[in-house]
Structure 1
Amino acid sequence: MKRKILSIMLTFALVFSLMAGCDTKGSNNGESNSTVTATKTVKITLLNSKGEIQAQLEEAAKVFTKENPNITVEVIPAAAGQSPFEKVTAMYASGNAPTMAMLDPGDIAKFKDKFLDLSGEKWVEDAIDWTLSVARVDGKVIAFPFAVEGYGLIYNKAVLDKAYGGNFDPSSIRTRDALEEAFKKVEAIGVKALEISPMDWSLGAHFLTIAYAAQSKDPAQVAQFLSDLKAGKVDLANNKVFNGLMDTFDMMKKYNIDKNDPLSPTYDRGPELIGKGEVGFWFMGNWAWPQIKEFDTANEQYGFIPVPISNNPGDYGNSQIAVGPSKFIGIDKTQNNAVQQDAAKKFLNWLVYSQTGQDALVNKANVIPAFKNITLEPQDPLAKSIGQYMKESNTLKLEFNTILPPDHWSKLGASMQKYLAGKIDRKGLIDEIENYWKNVQ
């Protein structure tokens, strides 16, 4: 009897041992086990450096999770005033790298050893060709082109129609003098002409870079200009395009609604002023529409004019709006496991190929997509205006963004702030720009 009981106990022990062994295998290799993957929730993170669409991305993440219940997406905002490069670098240093990192064009190559090779993804073939020039590093596509954006002088058409006594034609402004005449007409009806937002990223990454982009229609020549600037071979004091742009900026400063305290306004002041029709123009990009819309109750008629750099309407830059892929998403391969990487790929494909993903990208976040297969067109007036310039090939291509140092907008944005506030003159600004580039590593 004892032998029988012992035999039964041994049998049960063997069965439990085998079951435990199976369970241990499932736990250790669950990330690649299809049964576990199908039921286990995988959490991925997205570092978002486009603060103006934080709420829209959070909503997109919820919709994606509803359609993919085993994947949750946390959207982490980059702090205001902090460059995404600094944020992501700090997260890597702490061992907490985001699964997906949204970065500026010039940052991508710096993470080539940390980002996943995405060359085999379907969307690579569907991307607009020139949007991948930044994403391709050492022959591999390591980033997803998230958005195409443009910037210039946003105008409120209702204000301009009243100022001009009829239907305002934005193509009539192609010189500095014509722009100043528009400012005068706006002020003649009791409205302030212009808001200049003093954030370093707006002044350093957007306004100043027009001086780079307008050097030539040939992107290779623009890249050479920056290379020469780095080598100390460029004399900005005698550069026609740079001085033309800064002459326009000087004129803009005179009509700035906040000229008596030009560094005080926050970003939020701009959409309120232009949306309520308290200014006729605001230098900013199409990403600002969600904020403008909050203050616009009836008009919804806005558009862009380029920042003219001379009084010759035929000069390159006077008819062209600055446009380029502005944000890219890389997938981490060093601190996120294979299942998280696959989940991130699925999220990016969802944005490009699903109806709900395209709706989240284009209609909700008001992003101009970088993919040929997406037929949805943003319905907001600013994106439509940028799209029209693109259709007419009237664009300043921002391909040179790939070689802008990560601290360009913060360092030279600070120099532009000093110039805006009158703390340095043109020579002082030139010295700071030239010295910055000479010391770029």
Structure 2
Amino acid sequence: MLNKRMKKIGSGILLAGLTLTTLAACGNASETNNSAADASGTDEGASGEVVEIDIFQFKVEFKDQFEALAKQYEAENENVKINIETVGGGSDYGAALKSKFSSGNEPDIYNIGGPEDVTMWVDNLTDLSDTEAANQALEGTLTGATKDGKVLGLPYNIEGYGVVYNKAIFEEAGIDATTIKTLTDLEEAAKTLDSKKEELGLDAPFALAAKELWITGLHSGNAFLNAEFDNDVMKAFDSKTVEFKYGEQFQKYIDISNKYSVQPANSLDYSQQIEQLFSNGKVAMTQQGNWVYPTIASVNPELAENIGLLPIPIDGVTEGTIPVGVPMYWGVNPNGSEAEVQASKDFLDYLYTTEEGKRIVLEDFKFVPAYKGYDTEKISDPLSKDVYTYYTEGNTTGWVFMGYPAGWGEQTLGAEIQKYVAGEATWAEVEDVAKTKWAEERE
């Protein structure tokens, strides 16, 4: 292990302002899986010698399933040992990854966001254009991780988010979720739930987890900025300014979410939002995506089978839609040995392009695949089914937040929304600060 790490220290990386964010993760977690395989040989990949792959990833929700896959892969490939470390949720994955590289303890496979991350990490990303996974990726899913014609990241999956809602509570309240297309519709549903919250056993209609800056600054913000940038992440990445063209509707959405939320919203984190409140039927709605299904199912399996996704719309512009995109990409570190790089590519190809890998992606990971050749009839959970339905029916908008300036979505927009929710700033001040910071970052 020491020799392997020392070879990687030579890259001399120390990147500042990393933009990687936890886009879809729960809880506070930092877990390492050191497999039972014994790395008794060197890592050069000669016959009979063990090649180690160190994976550093952010998605807490499928940590256990991913570690099980790694053990299965080791059993089928005796010369490969896989070590997995997962850091997500309230933990700062980006800062942790930066620390890994600066200390020389570099992973072989790690996660990058979109074009901002690709630009930062370009010298530490292997061209994956020759992988079968890149060849099988769905149209458009490689765009955010492609630079100068090179595929520098492979998509995790396709994810979508909106307002997750409890179908049983909606039915009991007499609300037809299929009629909710606009912000006005969403507000009327919240009012109805609020008027009946005692008989429905609700603490409040909504849970706005404003403590999580990625929820408001990245996801909420994206829902109202995607139209400004024509649903084009590269247009956002190249833009010198942000206008908040639909800022009035953005404010309305935050007002609805906060007014009808469990309070104080700025104290609500992911665990309280999903595990304590939504999964226990204490709120009927909360902004999240299909990635939360495993967490809900682990708390309340019965409730988990009776949930769905409502739109986060711009009235008159993107009514009846949800944002859908690639949450993160797998990058392969070129600073390891040739054997480590090849083993990393082989592992990712196994995951996304073999029959067993495809089964695991669909049935164990509960992913909506970003690759061809999958039996999408096997998408099993209700949130992923909703995402796939929105996607196939063309009722989606894009993810442009990966094109925001580094840190702007959370540390500027999300932080300013916290001030607004607390009554410490006006909405005009939120926009002014966010516009100024964007322009400064793009100078």
Structure-2-length-normalised TM-score: 0.83
Q: Distance in 2 between matches of 1:354 and 1:110?
A: 32
Question: Where does 1:2-401 land on structure 2 (aligned, <5 Å)?
Answer: 31=44, 33=46, 35=47, 39-78=48-87, 80-105=89-114, 106-164=116-174, 169-187=176-194, 188=196, 189-190=199-200, 191=202, 192-198=204-210, 199-215=212-228, 218-220=230-232, 224=235, 227-228=238-239, 230-231=240-241, 234-236=242-244, 239=245, 241-258=246-263, 261-272=264-275, 273-299=277-303, 300-310=305-315, 315-334=316-335, 336-376=336-376, 377-398=378-399, 400-401=400-401
Q: Deviations over 1:203-262 (max 9, x none)?
A: 11111111211336x445x7556655x34xx554xx3x121121121122110022xx22
Q: What letter is aligned with 1:98?
A: P
> What's the CA shift string for 1:48-107, capped at 9, x where partnerless?
112222222222212221222221211112254454333322222111211001122231
Measure, in 1, the Cα distance between the counterparts of 2:226 and 2:86: 29
**Following the alignment from structure 2 to structure 1, what is the Cα–Cα distance between the partners of residues 425 and 362?**
42
Aligned match of 2:418 = 417
Q: Secondary structure at the match of 1:390?
A: helix
Q: Structure 1 residues 40 and 256 mapped into 2: Cα distance closer, same or farther (>3 Å)?
A: same
Q: Give the secondary-structure state (helix, strand or coil) at the position aligned to 1:130.
A: coil
Shift of 1:278: 1.7
Report the counterpart of residue 19 of structure 2 in structure 1: none
Three-state SS of the structure 2 residue aligned to 1:117 is coil
What is the Cα deviation at residue 366 of structure 1?
1.8
Distance 2:243 2:371 in 1: 39
Tell me, yes or no, if the aligned pair for 2:52 and 2:82 is still in contact at 8 Å. Answer: yes
1:328-380 Cα distance to aligned partner (Å, 9 max, x none): 0110002x111111111111011112333223322222221110112244311
CA contact (8 A) 1:170 1:304 kept: no
Q: Which has the higher helix share?
A: 1
Asked if structure 2 preserves the Cα contact closer than 8 Å seen for 1:271 and 1:295, the reply is: no
Matched AA of 2:318: G
What amino acid sits opposite 1:419 in the alignment? Y
Q: For 2:111 and 2:290, how far apart are their aligned partners in 1?
A: 18
Once residues 379 and 56 of structure 2 are traced to their aligned partners in structure 1, the CA distance between those partners, rounded to angstroms, is 24
CA drift at 1:404: 2.1
* 2:206 partner amino acid: L
Structure 1 position 406, deviation (Å): 3.1
Cα separation, 1, equivalents of 2:43 and 2:259 = 65
Specify the code of the residue in structure 2 equivalent to 1:154: V
Larger radius of gyration: 1
**What is residue 3 of structure 1 aligned with on the other side?**
none
1:197 Cα shift? 1.3
Task: Say which SS state the counterpart of residue 439 (structure 1) adopts.
Answer: helix
* 8 Å contact from structure 2 (residues 53, 80) kept in 1: yes
**Structure 1: tracts of 5 or more residues without a match:** 1-26
C-alpha distance in 2, partners of 1:324/1:79? 19
Structure-2 change in CA distance of 1:437 and 1:129 (3 Å): same
Letter in 2 for 1:270: Q
Check 1:223–1:212 CA distance in 2 against 1; reply closer, same or farther (3 A cut).
farther
After TM superposition, the structure 1 stretch with the greater mean CA deviation from structure 2, 382-391 or 277-286, is 277-286
Question: 3-state SS of the aligned residue for 1:360?
Answer: helix
Task: Kindly provide the amino acid, as one letter, of the partner of residue 270 in structure 2.
Answer: Y
- % same residue: 28
Q: How far apart, in 2, do the equivalents of 1:87 and 1:361 lie?
A: 26
2: CA distance between counterparts of 1:212 and 1:344?
36
Query: 2: CA distance between counterparts of 1:410 and 1:30?
Result: 39
CA distance in 1, matches of 2:62, 2:422: 30
Q: Give 1:369's aligned amino acid.
A: P
Q: Is the 8 A contact 1:248 1:309 kept in 2?
A: no
Partner SS, residue 268 of structure 1: helix
- When residues 48 and 32 of structure 1 are mapped into structure 2, their CA distance, relative to the original with a 3 A threshold, is closer
Change (3 A) 1:419 1:353: same
Name the amino acid aligned to 2:54: T
Residues 197, 29 of structure 1: CA spacing in aligned structure 2 closer, same or farther, 3 A cutoff?
A: closer
TM-score normalized by the length of structure 1: 0.83
Q: Any idea what SS the aligned residue of 2:144 has? A: coil
Q: Amino acid of the residue matched to residue 103 of structure 1?
A: I
